[in-house]
Structures are given as structure tokens and as C-alpha cells.
Structure 1
Amino acid sequence: MSAVMDFAAWRGRARALLAAGVAPQDAQWGSADDLFGGGGPEHGTHTSAARISGKLLAMLEQAACHRSEDRWAFLYRVLWRWQQGQRDVMSAADEDGARLHAMVKTVRREAHKMHAFLRFRERPEDAGAPRFIAWFEPEHDVLRDAAAHFAQRMGRHSWLIATPQGCAVWDGACLAYGPPLPREACEARDSGEALWLAYYRSTFNPARLNPDALTMHMPVRYWKNLPEAPLIPAMLSEAASGASRLAQAGAVGARGGKAIALDAEKAMPPRALPHTLDDCRRCPLWRNATQAVPGCGPARAPLMLVGEQPGDQEDLAGQPFVGPAGRLLDDAFARAGIGRDEVYLTNAVKHFKWEARGKRRLHRTPAQQEAAACRAWLEQELAQVQPRVVVALGATALASLLGTEARLNDLRGVPVQSGGRLVIPAWHPAYVLRLPDREAQAAAFDDIVRVLRQAQALATDTHR
């Protein structure tokens, strides 16, 4: 059928046929320019209005999007029967009614698939309008339905949707339709696509994989135009080769149950270390943290400071010691004559553990298991930086460096040989901020300064 043939054209010609009393078997549906072949009224013939129900009109309009070869003749037969008083033509129990319902259902399903599986790509800012472009290959003529849907969803962002049959353009205010465009014209390098792929992969749950349901809800014919489709075969393969069992075990382990006292090392089965800190899932803290906070400082530093964990501001900034405790530590550096850029700063635990208190996120001390899960990252930093002296700020850092038997009150300010380096325990700056009176705060602050001076002297002593 010609590209100019649409429901509006069919509707006008069908009304003319009805007015002329042309039965369905006598109407020959040819091209759009000769719609009635030799069996219709002349152009310009006066026609009377055909009265039908709003529900039937809506069904006819939707069924007109179905790409069956005889759709226009079939729709006219339904319309003719309605005008003859055969109201059962709308019933699914009627032969024509059943086909009409099936066509409408198929078109609606295809429109839903287009809503779900159309992927916009954002063009570079200097490329001009439209800002977003997409290519889709629908089985039926659902472009107008999809265009109205995305015009509502995308607001004032301009976009273009192209199909092999035509295209729709939205400028932020008005919809327009045009002829088909080549697929190559709709390709764009979207800088945000990598983020979408990472999100798609992270939400994949191999434990709940059902390949039959997957291909039923997302038929393979749509995959070639989906940016995430290349990931699917590998994820299916991984799930089939054991990832589903691992994921199921993790889900079962996360359920609440009776607590059993067990040593932290034995409670954690051996697992390979992730490639990057952002990928670390060795304990649950990553779920509620904004990001992992790695250490920072010189690649090789004679002096390293290890704190407990990131705080609220560190969690947001992605850097250690930038909050109130970090500012107090800067004051201690200044008093001790140490430049912050000379020291490697890190934490024993890399994710922020907190609890909500109104609108605030309040610090919670990491559990032994959580500190043990992060120990591999601390050992990696120690191996890379190779400090001569490490200052353990607080009990959690001390336990991570010397073991849980070490006590801060007993060892504070005392150098301890461990792993070829000296470890000196000190108060954590946050402890100073929590003290109730100024005198106690001043004494604890002076103690930190004394340990820093001691550590700096030992780190730079070339005779040691």
C-alpha cells in the first residue's frame, strides 16, 4: 500500500462507499491514488456521515496500524456489517470480531514493545537539534503512538525517531512526521551509554534467570537495536555456568536468622579480590555508601596515616579526611611541621557506615567482619606505598594493622614493629571532637601532635 495511505484517508473513502451502498465484496481496494479500483464513487461525490460507536472507531483506528495485506478491505467489511445492524461484529465470538480484537491486541503489544525497547542516543552538544535520536524497526505502524508517548515523557528535549517506514520529530513543542531516513543517519556516539550498560549489568540477577521468559518479554528480533544486547549472551552463559548458584547463595545468606558467634576470618569464605575498589562487594557497606573512598597521597611516602572509615563529607567527596576530623588533622600537621601532601592518608574501611538520624547520617563503628573484609585493600596500599612508619588513628585502624588483641590505651604513642615497618597508635581526630570539655580536647590534640612529630622523625631517620 502506498505511503500516503493511512486511517484518515481510509475513513473518508469508506464513508463515501457506505453512502454509495457499495458492499464489501464489490469494493476493490487498489493503490492510495485509486483506492476503490473500479468500484467506488467518483471523487467529489457528496457523502453522508456514517454513525458508529466510539469504541468501534477506536478499534478500527488501532487495527488500521496492523500490516496485514487486506487490512483496509477487512476494516471496511467490519464497518459495513455494523451499518447493517450486525452489532456482534464487535464480539470476540464473531469470526470478524475475533480477528479485529486480535489485530488490536497485536498493535497494542507492538506499541508497548516500542515504548520499552526504543533506545535514544544523545548527540554531542555542538551537533544541534534534535538532541536525542533513535532507530526502531516495528512490525506494525505504531510510530504515531510511540511519538505521542515520548513527546509526553521527554518534555522539552528535542528528539527524532526513525523507522524504515517514516520518522517522527519533536522540537520540544510540536510533533512532525516525515519520510524514512537511512539508519546510518540515526547513529550517534553517546557518552552516557557506558553508564547505562553498567547499570543494566548490575541489575541482572542470575539467580532469577528464566531464558524462556526473557525471550518472551524481550523477543530476539529487538536485540539488534539495543545497546545492552551484546551483554545478554555472556550474562546468560555466566548464569548457566554457575553464577546463578552464587547469586542464590548470596541472597539466602542475606536473610535474617539466628546469630551464631564465629570468628570473622572463618565466617568469610575465601574470595578473589575485585579488580577495583568500586567493584568491592566483600561486605554489605557498599549498598548504603555513595562511593568507595580510596587513600590519597604520594605514590611512595615514608609516613602513612590510617584512620577508621570515611565520614559523611568524605563519602560525598570521595577523598579521605576532608570533614571536621580532617580539618583538625590539618591543624595537627601544621603544629607538627608536616605538609599534608607529604603523607599518604587512608582508612581501614573504605565505605561509610552510617545510620539515619532525622536528615543527618551519623557515623557507626564498623564491625570486625567489615574491617576484615577491607584488610586486603589496606595491605595492597601498604605494599604499594611502602611507608617506613604508619600512624594508626583509633582502635579500628590499630586492630586492622596489629590484630584485634592490640589495645589503643596500652600502646598509644609506642612504636611497634610489624611487617617491616613501625606502627604507632594515636587518638583519632574525631575522638578529640567528641570530648566534652576544652581541656580534654587540648590534651588529646597535643597527644596527636606529639605522635605525629615522633612518627615524622622516625620516618625520616636515615640511620634507622
Structure 2
Amino acid sequence: MNPRAQVASFEEWRDAARGFVAAGLAPHEIDWSDQGDEPGLFAGDESLQVPPAQPAALQVSRELIGLLQAASCYRAPDRWAFLYRVLWRWSHGDRVVLSAADEDGMRLHMMAKTVHREEHRMHAFLRFRERPHDAGDPRFVAWYEPEHDVLHDAATHFSRRMGKTTWLIATPHGNVSWDGAQLHFGPPGNMRVDDAGDIGEALWLAYYRSTFNPARLNTDAMEMHMPVRYWKNMPESRLIPDLVSKASAGAQRIAQAREVGRREGAVIGIAPADAQPKREEPTSLDQCRRCELWERATQGVPGSGPGDARIMLVGEQPGDQEDLAGQAFVGPAGKLLDDVFAQAGLRRDTVYLTNAVKHFRWEPRGKRRLHKTPDQRHINACNYWLEHEIAGIVPRVVVALGATALKSLMHTSKVTLNSMLGKPVQHEGRWIVTTYHPSYVLRVPDEKIRESAFADMVRALQTAQRLAAEEAVGPT
């Protein structure tokens, strides 16, 4: 029987998870649930003894801790089990779990982002009502219905904003009060916030009505920034239907006529690229003007290799010699790549070679042209050409040589080279194998690091051959 862990907070989950990791319990061996009425943290197999985790036994990055803590507020039946799966993968060296390209990583980022958005909306849409001065504490009360468990973090925000003024926030799942010095959390109470008198509400409604500008009314934008589901607990929402109706009936036109003559006009800034008319996509690299790199490059450098190659290698960009010759990997990096091919037992003429960026980006240094790493905008612009090559070749395995190629293939700037080394992943129907770019091996000064990087490149090509062969044979 699997041990069952009942937790009520991130802190309880963290302590339990550390013990389970130290005990070597895999995610499928634990049944997680939110804590119910039963006291205690563990239930089920009472004989299970989970050793406490040593302080240095589990090293977790600050980024992962932040994501786990935020995602723990996301209301989902499997949230604790999911968070433990993420932690388990991390503890076993699987750093890809933090990547948005990973299935678990994508969900983790989505949960954290949703919670942060809900917390921001609570800051914006919660409305306190002031009680009569003779009613005692708390002076202000509010009712709010969050979609996720953001009450704790939001309470800290309001305690800073309200100073020593006492208040209470009630929600369907609990409440929090501030006595001017300390926060007090408790279960849902019976207090009816709607019954509390508000001596300042009439003033607020008059202010809201006077600042409503019918000439600038955009109901779609208003509902996007202030979703309708929050309106029922906002006093000003009672005014909105009437104000919108009057605007549609002519107040908008009247306000425009009265104000338009008083304005001198405004200059609206717009990026030059956005002001250009839409043009047809280029049909060849010679016609490409998708970014400014073509202006200083000798020519665009396309990929080369068999049209039915099972393996495609994607580098960063052409170098000085590639720019002059118009061919990929013919300079020093290409010669080192030939050595890698030889060590891996792979013939160069069976592989399709190309780059993520097709024009040479450089800066002058005396009479020399020195390589300059492409920006993300260059990667995005040239992804048009790379996608055309992939669609035409249909490789079974694509080897990303360096970070620029990896970002282009994964369509994100957040993925890192180190997190993907030695970990092939399937992406958009093909395998992605990541390794170093040959130029890194050429320029790294440390001999041991250089030898290690060269060996990693050899292993990557061997892995690519194995995966390509398995894809060709198919499942047995």
C-alpha cells in the first residue's frame, strides 16, 4: 500500500517531499492529497518511517523554489503530486524539467504564471468597505473570490499598503485580518461583508462616474482588463451598464464634439518596421530582407547535403570563410567537424549541414572581420529559412550545434545549452540532439575542457545515428 501524504500548505509539502526524496520514494509510490479533517501529515502505511532530509542532501535552485512555491497555490486535484514529480526529476539530475519545451516544465510555468496573474487581479479588483467608526475593529472589510490560493501573498501586499489601519478580507476558503501589526489567518467565517455600512462608498461612486469618459469607451478592452466575473463584488460595477448604455445612446458623440476642438493632437509613435506595407515572403536568400544582416554580408549561405538525409546538423551562422565561399562549414569549424565525423563513424556526405542564421554577423577589428553572436531577432527572422529546409529534407534527427541553433529549433530563448546536453528530446515529430558548436572547441583555452567538449560532440553524432536508425526501422 502506498503511503498517503496529506498537506495543507507549501511548507508542509516541502518538508514531506524532502523526506520522501531522501527515502528514495518515486512519484508513483506516494498518494498526495490536500489535508482534510484528519490530524497529522501522513496516513495509510503507519509503519513507514521517512528519514528527515539533511540540509545539504537536496540542492534546489532559487528559480525552481520560486516556481514550486507559486505553482503550489494553483488549485488542481493533483498539484502536490505534480510538484513532487518535478522535484523528483530535478533531484535525479533532469534539469530539462525547468524548460518550457518540456511537458512538465511547460505546466509548471503555466501554473506559476496563472497564480501571479490571479494575485495581481486581487490587488486590482478587491474593494474594501469602510465600517462606521463606532463599529470597532476591523475598520475595513472586503469579500473576494479568488480562483487560486493567493490569499496569503495578497495579504502581505495589503498589510504594506494599509499601514496600521485594521482590515479583514473574507473568501470562500478562509479569511485574513490585520490588526495594524500582524496578520491573522483563519477558516471561513460567517461575516456578511455586504451588510457592512460604507461611509465612503458614495464618494467613490461619484468619483468613478465623473472620471468615466464615454469618448474612449471600448467594452472589449474593458472586459479584457477587468473580467466580468469580478464585477459582482465591485461597487462601481453597478454603474457600468448605465454608463455604457448612455455612451452608446449619444454621450460618446457629445463628449467627442465638445472636446475635439480643445486638443492640439498627439504624435503616435510607431516602429518603422510596423509602418511598412506587407510584402510577399522572399523566395531565395539573395532576396531576403527579413533583418539587417544582409547589408554587411557577402551573401546568404544556404545548407547543403542530400535531399533525403536522415540527420541534419544546424550550426549558428556562417563564419568569415563561409560568407566568402557561400558554403556551410568550410572554415576552421568545418575542419574540426570533419574530425568529429571521423571519430563518430559518420560520413559527411550523408548529412545535411546548415545554420540557424544564414548571413554572417561580424564587427571590424583592424583588417579582420570578427564573429559576433546573432541576437534573438536575427534567429527569429532566419527561422523562416530553417523551417523551409527542415520541411524539405524531413530529417529524423536534428543535431543542434550550440545555443543559437538550439533556441531556433525549440522556438524559445529560455532554453539553455547545458540543460539539454546529452538529453535527446522529441520535438515537432523529430529528435533533437544537443551538443557544442565546433568553434567552442577551437577557442576554449583549457585542454581538458576542449577534449571533453570534443568527446561530447562525438557522442552526440553517435546518438544521432542510433536514433535515426531506430526511426528508420520503426517500433517492433
TM-score interval, normalised by the smaller of the two chains: 0.5 to 0.7
Determine if the alignment matches structure 1 residue 154 to structure 2 residue 157.
Answer: no
How high is the TM-score relative to the length of structure 2? 0.51
Kindly provide the CA deviation profile for residues 377-417 of structure 1, in whole angstroms up to 9, marking residues without a partner as x: xxxxxxxxxxxxxxxxxxxxxxxxxxxxxxxxxxxxxxxxx
Alpha-carbon distance in 2 for matches of 1:28, 1:2: 6
Matches for 1:285-364 after TM superposition, within 5 Å: none
Contact residue 122 and residue 133 of structure 1 kept, 8 A: yes
Matches for 1:58-73 after TM superposition, within 5 Å: 58-73=66-81
Shift in alpha-carbon separation, 1:39–1:31, aligned structure 2, 3 A: farther
Query: In structure 2, which of residues 43, 53, 56 is the aligned counterpart of residue 47 of structure 1?
Result: 53
Residue in 2 aligned with 1:28? Answer: 31
What is the CA distance between 1:29 and its match in structure 2? 1.2
Alpha-carbon distance in 1 for matches of 2:25, 2:88: 9
Contact residue 143 and residue 171 of structure 2 kept, 8 A: yes
Query: In structure 1, which of residues 18, 22, 26 is the aligned counterpart of residue 21 of structure 2?
Result: 18
Amino acid at match of 2:20: L
**Percent of paired sites with the same residue:** 60
Alpha-carbon distance in 1 for matches of 2:203, 2:245: 23
What is the CA distance between 1:64 and its match in structure 2? 0.4
Determine if the alignment matches structure 1 residue 250 to structure 2 residue 258.
Answer: yes
SS at match of 1:29: strand
Alpha-carbon distance in 1 for matches of 2:218, 2:162: 32
Alpha-carbon distance in 1 for matches of 2:46, 2:59: 20
What is the CA distance between 1:79 and its match in structure 2? 0.6
RMSD over aligned Cα atoms: 2.3
Matches for 1:416-435 after TM superposition, within 5 Å: none
How high is the TM-score relative to the length of structure 1? 0.53
Residue in 2 aligned with 1:218? Answer: 226
Alpha-carbon distance in 1 for matches of 2:193, 2:235: 17
Determine if the alignment matches structure 1 residue 118 to structure 2 residue 126.
Answer: yes
SS at match of 2:141: strand
Residue in 1 aligned with 2:436? Answer: none
Kindly provide the CA deviation profile for residues 361-386 of structure 1, in whole angstroms up to 9, marking residues without a partner as x: xxxxxxxxxxxxxxxxxxxxxxxxxx
Residue in 2 aligned with 1:166? Answer: 174
Query: In structure 1, which of residues 132, 135, 152 is the aligned counterpart of residue 143 of structure 2?
Result: 135
Alpha-carbon distance in 2 for matches of 1:2, 1:235: 52
What is the CA distance between 1:256 and its match in structure 2? 4.3
Alpha-carbon distance in 2 for matches of 1:39, 1:26: 12
Contact residue 29 and residue 73 of structure 1 kept, 8 A: yes
Amino acid at match of 1:9: E
Over 6 Å off, 4+ runs: 1-4
SS at match of 2:185: strand
Contact residue 135 and residue 183 of structure 1 kept, 8 A: no
Matches for 1:365-376 after TM superposition, within 5 Å: none
Matches for 1:81-120 after TM superposition, within 5 Å: 81-120=89-128
Residue in 2 aligned with 1:319? Answer: none
What is the CA distance between 1:4 and its match in structure 2? 6.4
Aligned residues: 257
Unaligned runs of 5+ in 2: 266-476
Amino acid at match of 1:79: L
What is the CA distance between 1:182 and its match in structure 2? 2.8
SS at match of 1:177: strand
What is the CA distance between 1:128 and its match in structure 2? 0.9
Alpha-carbon distance in 1 for matches of 2:259, 2:47: 70
Contact residue 7 and residue 34 of structure 2 kept, 8 A: no
Determine if the alignment matches structure 1 residue 202 to structure 2 residue 210.
Answer: yes
Amino acid at match of 2:21: L
Contact residue 137 and residue 166 of structure 2 kept, 8 A: yes
Amino acid at match of 1:15: R
SS at match of 1:229: helix
What is the CA distance between 1:117 and its match in structure 2? 0.6
Contact residue 29 and residue 35 of structure 1 kept, 8 A: no
Contact residue 121 and residue 190 of structure 1 kept, 8 A: yes
Shift in alpha-carbon separation, 1:216–1:164, aligned structure 2, 3 A: same
Alpha-carbon distance in 2 for matches of 1:161, 1:73: 30
Alpha-carbon distance in 1 for matches of 2:60, 2:45: 23
Shift in alpha-carbon separation, 1:175–1:135, aligned structure 2, 3 A: same
Kindly provide the CA deviation profile for residues 85-108 of structure 1, in whole angstroms up to 9, marking residues without a partner as x: 111111111111111111111101
SS at match of 2:168: strand
Residue in 1 aligned with 2:84? Answer: 76
Shift in alpha-carbon separation, 1:30–1:107, aligned structure 2, 3 A: closer
Kindly provide the CA deviation profile for residues 48-86 of structure 1, in whole angstroms up to 9, marking residues without a partner as x: 342201111011111000001110001001111111111
Amino acid at match of 1:141: D
What is the CA distance between 1:10 and its match in structure 2? 0.6
Alpha-carbon distance in 1 for matches of 2:129, 2:224: 26
SS at match of 2:237: coil
What is the CA distance between 1:207 and its match in structure 2? 1.2
Shift in alpha-carbon separation, 1:240–1:185, aligned structure 2, 3 A: closer
